[in-house]
């Protein structure tokens, strides 16, 4: 099983993911994505879903029209792990492309 990140490692790793916010209450990271409309938002969610399923690591998320809110944490570890950092980086790459 993957381990929760230590405080030091978490701070260091999150410096590489500046678009994400740390949520201490959940030991999670969150990011809001805004698109032009629902079609664009849902297309993004579909791409994230395929990546998440392949990695067997899934976001907690919600969608309202053009907005997608994503929270990443590792349930098996009880907090943030390297699996969340990897998924966050892959999601960032999707919106940068």
Ligand X SMILES: C[C@H](O)[C@H](O)[C@H]1CNC2=NC(N)=NC(=O)C2=N1
Determine contact, residues 77/10, Cβ cutoff 8 Å. no
Cα–Cα separations (whole angstroms), residue 60 to 8, 29, 71: 25, 10, 5
Determine contact, residues 42/35, Cβ cutoff 8 Å. no
In the complex with ligand X, the residue whose CB is nearer, 38 or 78, is 78
Give the separation between CA 34 and CA 25, rounded to whole angstroms: 24
**Stretch of residues binding ligand X (CB under 6 A), selected from 8-16, 21-29, 39-47, 71-79:** 71-79
Give the separation between CA 97 and CA 86, rounded to whole angstroms: 17
**Contacting ligand X within 30-59 (CB under 6 A):** 56-58
Number of residues that bind ligand X (CB under 6 A): 6
Q: How far is the CB of 63 from ligand X (least distance, A)?
A: 17
- Pick the binder of ligand X from 11, 19, 75, 93 (CB under 6 A): 75
In the complex with ligand X, the residue whose CB is nearer, 35 or 73, is 73
Give the separation between CA 24 and CA 50, rounded to whole angstroms: 28
**Stretch of residues binding ligand X (CB under 6 A), selected from 14-22, 39-47, 70-78, 89-97:** 70-78
Tell me which residues touch ligand X (CB under 6 A).
Answer: 56-58, 74-76
């Amino acid at each position: 099983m993957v381990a929760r990140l230590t405080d030091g490692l978490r701070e260091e790793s999150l410096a590489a993911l500046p678009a994400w916010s740390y949520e201490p209450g959940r030991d999670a990271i969150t990011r809001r994505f805004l698109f032009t409309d629902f079609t664009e938002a849902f297309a993004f969610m579909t791409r994230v879903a395929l990546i998440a399923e392949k990695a067997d690591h899934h976001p907690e998320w919600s969608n309202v029209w053009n907005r997608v809110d994503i929270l990443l944490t590792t349930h098996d570890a009880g907090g943030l792990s390297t699996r969340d950092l990897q998924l966050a980086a892959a999601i960032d790459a999707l919106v940068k492309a």
